[in-house]
Amino acid sequence: MNVRTMQISRTVGFYVALVLFCLFAVFPALWMVITAFKQNSDLYDPMNNPFLFNLPPTLTHIESLFTQTNYPIFLWNSFIIGVIVVAITLVLAVPAAYSLARLMGHWGEHSSIAIFLVYLIPPTLLFIPLYEIVTVLGAANTVWSLILVYPTITVPFCTWLLLSFFRSVPREVEEAALTDGWSRVGVFFRVALPLALPGITTCIVFAFALSLSDYIYAAVFVSRTASRTVSAGVPTELIRGDIYYWQALMAATAIVGIPLAVVYGLLFNWLVKGFQVELPRSPRA
Amino acid sequence: MRNETVLGGGAAGGYEEPSQCSEHVAIADRDGVVGTIMLAPAVIYVIALVAVPFFLAIALSLSDATVGNPSAHQFVGFDNFTSVIYEAAFTFALRNSIIITAATLVLLTVLTILQVELLACDFPGKRTAQILLILPWAMPVALAAIGWLWLLDSEFSPIDWLLRAVGLLGPGTVLGPANNLYYLGREWLGIGAVVVINVWRTLPLSTIIVLAGRTAIPNEVYEQAELDGAGYFRTLFQITLPALAILLIVAILFTVLVIFGDMTVVALTTRGGPGYATEILPYWAYLKGIQGGALSQGAAIALFLFPVLLAASVLALRMAYRREG
């Protein structure tokens, strides 16, 4: 085997592996999209090739999802909750991250992993006591119960992510502004914030996505249709008893999932960078 | 920069009082004060809604509270823990939680290394590949689980169709004689399905974390290795993996902790069944505590997760800090 054939076989192997990984990642989503447009008699025939449209595609199921189910209510609730949670998260996490990155000295600089561990205390440990708290506050069955609780997921994560962005702002820029007679607060608003804008954008996306994807709190705190979110409403209310309207269900998941995936994918390199600033260089490199 | 480091010398960070010696240092200029004010709201919030509930969970597990009467905190000692342990479901839940987490860990490690190696290269269409590969993480877990439920349907699973098409499934074949595999209806297939779904949805996150370390290895290291005539696998095992080892462990621990503590996939696919065959601790805590109304017992079950979470967190923390130190 000469060098050329080896190179070719290597390239082929690379692309085969890449395609396999991509297929594994998108196969469920692909299946969702195909299903959503299928007619009943096409879908529920085990002899049909499930990946092809044996009968012409139809929009009726997507139409009925929006006109005959509560899906629009779930979408609206998820949207409102997401927006308010993002606002609360930014108000809490941005100043906290800046403080840890710049103002709290040695302890603050090494706090990042401790913060990430807060993110790891799972909802499973907390949902029962939080259910009590929410009930006592009279917020059960309203969107406010979720708005109150979701920042427990988003604030630690976003603080941790922003920490690395604030750290990557060169210290000298801020110090020059301080020397020019600006106050620390002024430096924060007029120098650090604009420079950390990519980080803040990433945070907005994440806080929104995290609040959208919670299932356990949404399923436990809210049992009224009018206050359900997408994550809890689709599995609990669009499945009626044992009857699954698969086309509508798959449309309901794909409509939320695929746009999110595109946004995440576009942020891919920023995410890697976030972890890079965060995690110090490997010892051998 | 014109005027360098007025504020407590660069590297050490500015925790010392500002060295501007002017008489009137405004409050807004004292880093310690400003820092505390900026940090306080987040810390107070986390204490109120993470730390307090955590201790409340412990208190609940030692009481006899129910959904109907959540404030009746009669102290009952460890009764909840002992009564929970003797239930048949407990053995299943504990076993499955451990098996599912361990199996996910092994698969995830191998696939993460492979995927990181792929994404460390530059190739045309990388952007598209990134979007496709990150999709499982972007999709809300509950919705993804519904997708998998349909993908693994007992009658219309397209995987079954593929197996039938290539002659592996159906009457008179290797996997037959039934026309379907009933992924979610059998004990070990069900557990396998949950493992695959877990690997699917956490692979993007672990890849991103490890990729951050991988791209930090300077290219010269690889060029030198190639000049020295090291083959692909030699380079992988002698350069890449040792350099990434600790990062890899941290990334895998993080993702595995997420899986160990989450109930969504099981709750929406196998529902713990058949029987208790795929029951896991978090979902059982939910069934007991919320559906069954026994808040205190649910809290007790959830607390069985804590020793494992704590051990894994401490391990991850120590490794991460050893690298920083």
Taken in order of first residue, the domains within chain B and their CATH numbers are 1-61 (no CATH), 78-324 (1.10.3720.10)
Q: Using the beta-carbon criterion (under 8 Å), do A232 and B142 form an inter-chain contact?
A: yes
Task: Please indicate whether, in this complex, the C-beta atoms of A118 and B57 are within 8 angstroms of each other.
Answer: no
What's the distance, CA B166 to chain centroid? 36
**pLDDT, chain A, mean:** 82
Q: How many CA atoms lie within 13 A of A236 on its CB side?
A: 19
Pairing of strands A239-240, A243-244: antiparallel
Residue of B nearest to A273 (CA): B212
Q: Own/partner pairs for B7-15, CB < 8 Å, 24+ apart? A: B7/A175, B7/A178, B7/B31, B10/A171, B12/A105, B12/A106, B13/A102, B13/A105, B13/A106, B13/A108, B13/A109, B14/A102, B14/A103, B14/A105, B15/A104, B15/A105, B15/A106, B15/A107
| DSSP three-state, residue B118 | helix
Q: Which of B1, B7, B282 sits opposite A124 (nearest CB)?
A: B282
> How many angstroms separate the CA atoms of B194 and B189, rounded?
9
Please spell the DSSP secondary structure of A221-266, one letter per residue.
H---GGG--HHHHHHHHSEETTEE-HHHHHHHHHHHHHHHHHHHHH
Structure tokens at B212: 């951050």
Q: Is the model's pLDDT at A69 over the cut of 70? A: yes
- Do residues A228 and A143 lie in contact, with contact meaning Cβ atoms separated by under 8 Å? no
Flag if A234 and B146 touch (Cβ within 8 Å): yes
Chain A to chain B Cβ contacts (< 8 Å):
366
> Distance of CA A32 to CAs A69, A252, A278, B153, B303, Å?
19, 9, 36, 13, 37
User: Is there a contact between B35 and A108 if contact means CB atoms under 8 Å apart?
Assistant: yes
Q: Which residues, 6+ apart, have CB-to-CB distance to A106 below 8 Å?
A: B12, B13, B15
Interface of B with A in 150-209 (CB under 8 A): 150-151, 155-156, 158, 161, 179, 200, 203-204, 208-209
A179–B324 C-beta distance less than 8 A: no
Residue B104, both tokens: 């996910």
pLDDT value at position A280? 43
Is it the case that residue A168 has pLDDT exceeding 80?
no
Half-sphere exposure of B319 (CA within 13 A, CB side): 19
For the cut 50, the answer to whether the pLDDT of residue A242 exceeds it is: yes
Mean pLDDT of A29-42: 84
Q: Find the DSSP H helices in chain A.
A: 3-36, 40-43, 60-67, 71-98, 105-109, 112-120, 123-136, 143-149, 151-167, 171-179, 184-187, 193-195, 197-213, 216-221, 230-237, 246-266, 268-278
> Cα separations (Å) of B293 from A69, A83, A124?
29, 32, 16
**Could you report the average pLDDT of every consecutive run of 10 residues in chain B (325 residues)?**
36 42 52 80 86 85 75 74 83 88 90 88 84 87 89 81 77 70 78 91 87 80 81 80 78 79 84 81 86 82 83 74 56
Q: Among partner residues B39, B54, B289, which is closest to A104 by beta-carbon distance?
A: B39
ipTM above 0.85, yes or no: no
Q: Is A282 close to B36, i.e. CB distance below 8 A?
A: no
Residue A235 pLDDT > 70, yes or no?
yes
* pLDDT average, residue stretch A120-124: 77
The secondary structure of B215-253 as a DSSP string is TTS-HHHHHHHHHTT--HHHHIIIIIHHHHHHHHHHHHH
Query: What would the CATH number be for the domain defined by A71-237?
Result: 1.10.3720.10
* Structure token digits, residue B185: 């209806």
pLDDT at B325: 45
Q: What percent of chain A has pLDDT over 90?
A: 11
Alpha helix ranges (H) inside chain B: 31-46, 52-61, 79-85, 88-119, 126-138, 141-151, 158-165, 187-214, 219-227, 232-235, 241-260, 264-268, 281-286, 295-303, 306-324
Signed CA dihedral, A155, A158, A159, A160: sign only: positive
- A36-68 burial string, b = 16+ CB within 10 Å, else e? bbbbeebbeeeebebeeeeeeebeebbeebeee
Between CA B205 and CA B183 the distance in angstroms is 26
Does the pLDDT value for residue A90 go beyond 90? yes
Among the partner residues A27, A105, A275, nearest to B209 by beta-carbon distance: A275
Chain A positions touching B133 (Cβ under 8 A) are 21-22, 25, 265
CB distance A118–B135 less than 8 Å?
no
Contact yes or no for A35 and B150 at CB 8 A: yes
- Strand, coil or helix: what is A189? helix
What is the pLDDT, as a whole number, of residue A63?
Answer: 81
pLDDT tens, A130-150? Answer: 888 888 888 888 889 999 999
Band (pLDDT 50/70/90 cuts) for residue A282 is very low
Give the model's pLDDT for residue A283.
35
Q: Which of residues 74-133 of B touch A (CB under 8 A)?
A: 111, 114-115, 118, 121, 123, 127, 129-133
The single-letter DSSP state of residue B272 is T
Using the 8-state DSSP alphabet, how is residue B29 labeled?
Answer: G
- pLDDT for res B257: 78
- Shortest alpha-carbon distance between residue A227 and chain B (Å): 17
**Average pLDDT of the segment spanning A189-202:** 82
* pLDDT confidence of residue B72: 60
* Residue A41 confidence (pLDDT): 77
Put simply, the answer to whether B200 touches A28 (Cβ < 8 Å) is yes
Rounded to an integer, the average pLDDT of A236-262 is 82
Cβ of A92 and B42 within 8 Å?
yes
**Locate tokens 């823990």: which residue?**
B81
Question: Residue A272: which residues within 8 A CB-CB, separation 6 or more?
Answer: B208, B211, B212, B215
Among B139, B246, B323, beta carbon nearest to A260? B139
Q: Count how many residues are written for chain B.
A: 325
Q: Which of A11-25, A49-63, B22-36, B93-107 has the lowest mean pLDDT?
A: B22-36
At residue B27, the pLDDT reads 56
The Cα–Cα gap between A167 and A41 comes to 58
Q: Above 70 in pLDDT, residue A265?
A: yes
Nearest 5°: the CA angle A32, A37, A42 is 100
Taking residues A160-178, report their average pLDDT. Answer: 81
Q: What is the CA radius of gyration of chain B?
A: 26
Q: How far is CA A142 from CA A25, A33, A183, in A?
A: 35, 32, 42
